[in-house]
Amino acid sequence: MTRVLVVDDEPGLRQSLGLLLADAGYQVTAEGDGAKALERALAESFDLVLCDVRMPDMDGTAFLRAYRARGGTALVIMMSAYGGEESALAAMKEGAYDYIPKPFRPDEVILTLRKAEEREQLGNTIATLKAQLDTRPGSRALVVESQGMRQALEVVARVATHPTTVLITGDRGTGKEVIAQAIHRASPRAAGPFVAVNCAAIPDTLLESELFGYAKGAFTGATADRPGLFEQAAGGTLLLDEIGELPLPLQAKLLRVLQESEIRRVGDQKTRRVDVRLLAATARDLAADAAAGRFRHDLFDRLNVVAIHLPPLTERREDIAPLARHFAARLGSRLGRAVMLSDSAIAWLREQPWPGNVRALEHAIERAAVLSDKEILEPVDFGKGPLPSPVSPGERGEGRGTLRDVVERAEREAITAALRGAGGNRREAAKRLGVSLRTLFYKIDRYGLE
């Protein structure tokens, strides 16, 4: 059932529209105050908004402008009395889908809403196809067999055409960057650059200049002006991966960029306008971090306009078989020989715990293919036991395997314990382990712990 919000200061019109639309099968909510309607439209999920142009306090154009600026995605249809066509047309320039002149006939209202629904469905279908279509060599698969991924793709299709900030959450290795790329492909910015940066992989002292750039002479070694990633992503999309690792002082500067669409290079006095669609991704619970003071509440609210959560691979086992076949086919093109999976291998892969999610599945198939000359991989090619995962206390030592096996088991256990003790913060985990952040990233990737 399509949800419709009616915004009009005339009680009689709200009532008559409510009855008319309810009889036509719509679920109707009505508000007589523009400001209250705006908060409700952003707090709840609506498919269509019918809004009067002329209202006291906040008129229809102001409502529409604020609704779009704060990430509203419903189609907005304006209503105007005779003589108000110019205002209605001005509202359409602000992003309204259509307008209906007052007084209107009942069938005219229903027809306009039906047309809007058809247009939205068509747009979502096109956006879904664009999101899934990626013919570049080495492209990663966007598999949507499971219900959880279908729901994620539906949100991708809805938000892609809007400039809304999107927060993508999920365990490490679930495909957050793949979803970000899908949003970019389905957006009007698809022809522009897609730039991704892992905030945890860059030292705090360099992160600001990496994001915003720097001016000549800003610090030792700054021999020329250098644009940052925001400027490099102009006209396109910037993904801030692992945004939960962003230092607090830099969070305040990022918030200003989001609010003002301006950046200032390190060591420069002037500001520069930037036209960038921002996406953020994290494996952390930012709401909990904000409550604990580790992440700014205002930045979290600004990022969390639309959230897409990716379930772990263990909760989307329908995706394992098509993902595995995709990875095998892509790997075959890289190795210059056919790589396929037997039915028993697929069945075996579906039963594994996959602590590293999709990335671990991809690495396991590559490992098996590289270490075997077979065209069709069998379960034995992946090893007789479960795939690498954090070891249990009962598996420690006991002289099993080579010295290298024992060392690797100990490393996996130590890294897992350090990450758990640091609450997932990899910088802190690296300090506890006494290794560089780069070394920790390498080990995490090698052991499939993400």
d(CA 363, CA 374): 17
Q: Is the pLDDT of residue 356 over 50?
A: yes
Query: Among candidates 45, 303, 292, 252, which has minimal Cα distance to 151?
Result: 45
pLDDT band at 240 (very low <50, low <70, confident <90, very high): very high
Please tell me the pTM assigned to this model.
0.65
In this prediction, residue 138 carries a pLDDT of 43
In this prediction, residue 45 carries a pLDDT of 83
User: In the chain, what percentage of residues exceed pLDDT 70?
Assistant: 89
Q: How much is the mean pLDDT over the chain? A: 84
Separation in Å, CA 132 to CA 126, 140, 232: 10, 10, 25
In this prediction, residue 98 carries a pLDDT of 85
Q: pLDDT by residue (tens digit) across 102-113?
A: 888 888 889 889
Considering only residues 169 and 397, tell me which one the structure prediction assigns the higher pLDDT.
169
Helix residue ranges per DSSP H, 238-309: 248-260, 286-291, 297-303
Residue 237, classified by CB atoms within 10 Å of its CB into exposed (0-12), middle (13-18) or buried (19+), is buried
Q: pLDDT by residue (tens digit) across 139-153?
A: 455 777 888 888 888
pLDDT band at 312 (very low <50, low <70, confident <90, very high): very high
* Lowest-pLDDT range of 11-20, 80-89, 157-166, 278-287: 80-89
d(CA 331, CA 327): 6
In this prediction, residue 400 carries a pLDDT of 46
In this prediction, residue 335 carries a pLDDT of 85
- Mean pLDDT on 224-241: 94
* Lowest-pLDDT range of 11-15, 180-184, 220-224, 291-295: 220-224
pLDDT band at 393 (very low <50, low <70, confident <90, very high): very low
pLDDT band at 83 (very low <50, low <70, confident <90, very high): low
Pick the most confident of 63-72, 133-142, 156-165, 359-368: 359-368
Q: Is the pLDDT of residue 406 over 80?
A: no
**Residue 310 dihedral angles phi and psi, to the nearest 5°:** -105, 120
Provide the residue type at 190 as one letter: A
In this prediction, residue 129 carries a pLDDT of 60
Considering only residues 91 and 165, tell me which one the structure prediction assigns the higher pLDDT.
165
Q: Is the pLDDT of residue 386 over 50?
A: no
In this prediction, residue 384 carries a pLDDT of 46
Q: Is the pLDDT of residue 395 over 50?
A: no
In this prediction, residue 141 carries a pLDDT of 54
Q: Is the pLDDT of residue 427 over 50?
A: yes
In this prediction, residue 388 carries a pLDDT of 46
The string of DSSP codes covering 187-204 is STTTTS-EEEEEGGGS-H
Q: pLDDT by residue (tens digit) across 185-204?
A: 888 898 999 999 999 888 88
Pick the most confident of 42-51, 84-93, 402-411, 439-448: 42-51
In this prediction, residue 100 carries a pLDDT of 87
Contacts of residue 446, defined as CB under 8 A and 6 or more positions apart, other chains included, come to: none
Residues β-bridged to residue 308: 168
In this prediction, residue 133 carries a pLDDT of 56
Q: Is the pLDDT of residue 47 over 60?
A: yes
Q: How far is CA 18 from the centre of its chain?
A: 35
